[in-house]
């Protein structure tokens, strides 16, 4: 059986027939990362950045300084290593000019080797030892911008700065003149070495993060036959407390040829509206997303279905229909039967306030099987109205439908007129016991929401409003899941 009713997805009551227009570069799924979501991501990034930044080796520093009494001393600091960085406070702030990330009150600890030499008359005097350096009150500032580049996200580093305010140096061993000499001669140089080292590492990290974002897949697989087009459309929208993304969001065929369709879509403004503003993420899906799935599976001819097993198997034997369609039994006594159901148009999904509906139009052909030959005897047109519920399973948006009512009419018959009121209960039973459970096993799996690998939707709340399904949720991140893209 083909995944026939996969597409009943969610559901209402429009006339049969579907809009056929081209899809252009419209967005049917919008995502909004709230300030809380940005804070969450920022903490992940900052922690990951720091732990992969240390140990950070800086290049050697050499200097010749004139020390009172001693004279010209050549001093070298080598093996300068930042081995610990502590970020005391950090924040992320989107704004029209970009996303600022600021870490202030940052401290770092360095270890290094020192060595000096000088000549007194003709004797060369030298000594060496180790030193530890504490950098306090460092501020790190990044300004990033996000752009849409041919459907991918481009992360642009607009500004990157690291400013050291205060340095304290401790020597292990050495004379006190040396201590003072090093402090005087090197304080500034160590400070700028730290500033440059960290800035360089951050710039590298941002460029890796950029290529990670650029290489985000443009399709998310849904099953063997369909994927979700997650191509970015338009530049991300930066407000002072959120970042919004728009993606195409329609189902596209993987192995089957499907004509281009466009879905009825009032050019609604970018909007993800989460009533609970303390959620990290909002994802808003236009009903066109569901209708694109509907059209895809319909066109791929998966919505055809031969029913040859039902709970009451006697109904697939002309004997069982003896009193319902006497002429059928008379013509084909004791014959096996099957029901050939095919949708006559893609199911139409309609989302309205607190409600998801689907209208399904199908032809049900009654077949008699005579020695392996299938003989169609009559065809009944069905219009089924379903209502649906939507839920989140893992990162999938899944659903379930139930039939509210249906209407049927005889389309054609080779066995004369049929008593529709007698057939109606049987068809209703088939809908309830075969068709809906089958649909619901497929709908129950759902399709993946566009969420980056490693993140999991949590405590989701779903709102149905005019033509939109909005999922507002928090996300968690699997620690075991390395943020492999962060090289820092």
Among 90, 403, 474, 486, which residue sits at the site for ligand NAG (rule: CB under 6 A)?
474
454-475: burial string, b at 16+ Cβ within 10 Å, e else: bbebeebebbbeebbbbbbbbb
Residue with smaller CB distance to ligand NAG, 25 or 404: 25
Among 7, 138, 233, 349, which residue sits at the site for ligand NAG (rule: CB under 6 A)?
233
**Site for ligand NAG contains 336 (CB under 6 A):** yes
**Site for ligand NAG contains 134 (CB under 6 A):** yes
**Site for ligand NAG contains 375 (CB under 6 A):** no
**Site for ligand NAG contains 149 (CB under 6 A):** no
Stretch that binds ligand NAG, among 44-52, 220-228, 390-398, 480-488 (CB under 6 A): 220-228
Q: Alpha-carbon distance 282 to 62, whole Å? A: 54
In a 3-state reduction of DSSP, which class is residue 411?
strand
Residue 265 backbone phi and psi in degrees, to 5: -155, 105
Q: Which residues have a Cβ under 8 Å from the Cβ of 426 and sit 6 or more positions away?
A: 315, 324
Query: Nearest approach, Cβ of 64 to ligand NAG (angstroms)?
Result: 22
Neighbour-count burial of 279, counting CB atoms closer than 10 A to its CB (0-12 exposed, 13-18 middle, 19+ buried): buried
Which residue in 242, 179, 197, 238 sits closest to 81, CA to CA? 197
Q: Alpha-carbon distance 346 to 7, whole Å? A: 8
Among 126, 276, 414, 417, which residue sits at the site for ligand NAG (rule: CB under 6 A)?
276
Residues 86/105, Cβ–Cβ less than 8 Å = no
Angle at 83 between CA 78 and CA 84, to 5 degrees: 140
Q: What is the CA radius of gyration of the chain?
A: 34
Among 25, 127, 312, 405, which residue sits at the site for ligand NAG (rule: CB under 6 A)?
25
Among 52, 317, 327, 381, which residue sits at the site for ligand NAG (rule: CB under 6 A)?
317
- Sign, Cα dihedral of 43, 47, 50, 52: negative
- Sign, Cα dihedral of 399, 402, 405, 411: positive
Which residue in 468, 26, 80 sits closest to 247, CA to CA? 26
What is the token pair recorded at 300?
Answer: 């791929």
Stretch that binds ligand NAG, among 41-49, 217-225, 264-272, 415-423 (CB under 6 A): 217-225
Residue with smaller CB distance to ligand NAG, 67 or 438: 438
What is the token pair recorded at 30?
Answer: 């919008």
Residue with smaller CB distance to ligand NAG, 79 or 126: 79
Among 278, 414, 417, 466, which residue sits at the site for ligand NAG (rule: CB under 6 A)?
278
Stretch that binds ligand NAG, among 69-77, 199-207, 225-233, 462-470 (CB under 6 A): 225-233
**Site for ligand NAG contains 159 (CB under 6 A):** no
**Site for ligand NAG contains 319 (CB under 6 A):** yes
Stretch that binds ligand NAG, among 37-45, 60-68, 105-113, 138-146 (CB under 6 A): 105-113
CB atoms under 10 Å from CB of 317, counted, come to: 17
Among 52, 104, 107, 345, which residue sits at the site for ligand NAG (rule: CB under 6 A)?
107
Q: Pattern 194-213, binding to ligand NAG, x per CB under 6 A?
A: --------------------
**Binding interface with ligand NAG (CB under 6 A):** 2-3, 25, 79, 81, 84, 107, 109, 111, 113, 134, 136, 151, 223-225, 229, 231, 233, 240-241, 248, 252, 276, 278-279, 302, 306, 314, 317, 319, 334-336, 340, 342, 363, 365, 374, 459, 474
């Amino acid at each position: 059986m083909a995944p026939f009713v996969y597409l009943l997805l969610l559901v209402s009551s429009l006339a049969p027939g579907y809009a056929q227009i081209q899809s252009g570069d419209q967005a049917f799924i919008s995502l909004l990362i709230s300030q809380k979501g940005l804070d969450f991501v920022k903490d992940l990034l900052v922690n990951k950045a720091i732990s992969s930044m240390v140990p950070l080796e800086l290049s050697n520093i050499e200097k010749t300084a004139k020390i009172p009494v001693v004279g010209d001393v050549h001093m070298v600091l080598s093996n300068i290593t930042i081995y610990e960085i502590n970020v005391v406070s950090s924040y992320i702030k989107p704004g029209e000019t970009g996303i600022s990330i600021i870490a202030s009150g940052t401290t770092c600890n360095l270890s290094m080797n020192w060595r000096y030499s000088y000549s007194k008359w003709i004797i060369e005097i030298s000594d060496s030892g180790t030193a530890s350096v504490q950098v306090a009150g460092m501020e790190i500032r990044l300004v990033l911008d996000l752009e849409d580049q041919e459907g991918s996200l481009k992360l642009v580093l607009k500004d990157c700065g690291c400013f050291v305010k205060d340095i304290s140096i401790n020597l292990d061993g050495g004379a006190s003149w040396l201590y003072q000499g090093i402090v005087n001669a090197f304080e500034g140089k160590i400070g700028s070495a730290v500033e440059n080292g960290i800035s360089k590492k951050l710039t590298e990290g941002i460029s890796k993060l950029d290529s990670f974002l650029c290489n985000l897949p443009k399709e998310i697989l849904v099953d063997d036959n369909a994927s979700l087009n997650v191509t970015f459309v338009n530049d991300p929208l930066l407000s002072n407390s959120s970042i919004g993304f728009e993606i195409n969001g329609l189902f596209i065929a993987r192995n089957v040829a499907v004509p281009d369709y466009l879905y009825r879509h009032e050019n609604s403004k970018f909007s993800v509206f989460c009533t609970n503003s303390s959620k990290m993420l909002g994802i808003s899906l236009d009903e066109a997303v569901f209708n694109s799935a509907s059209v895809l599976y319909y066109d791929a001819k998966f919505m055809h279905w031969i029913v040859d097993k039902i709970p009451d198997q006697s109904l697939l034997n002309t004997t069982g229909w003896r009193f319902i369609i006497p002429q059928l039994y008379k013509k084909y006594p004791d014959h096996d039967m099957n029901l050939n159901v095919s949708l006559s148009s893609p199911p139409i999904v309609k989302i309205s306030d607190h409600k998801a509906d689907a209208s399904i139009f199908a032809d049900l052909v009654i077949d008699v099987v005579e020695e392996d030959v299938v003989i169609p005897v009559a065809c009944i047109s069905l219009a089924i109205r379903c209502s649906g519920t939507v839920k989140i399973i893992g990162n999938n948006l899944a659903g379930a439908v139930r039939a509210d009512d249906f209407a049927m009419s005889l389309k054609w018959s080779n066995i004369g007129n049929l008593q529709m009121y007698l057939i109606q209960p049987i068809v209703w039973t088939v809908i309830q016991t075969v068709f809906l459970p089958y649909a619901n096993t497929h709908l129950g799996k759902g399709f993946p929401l566009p969420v980056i690998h490693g993140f999991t939707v949590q405590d989701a709340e779903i709102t149905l409003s005019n033509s939109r399904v909005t999922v507002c949720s928090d996300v968690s991140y699997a620690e075991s899941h390395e943020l492999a893209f962060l090289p820092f």
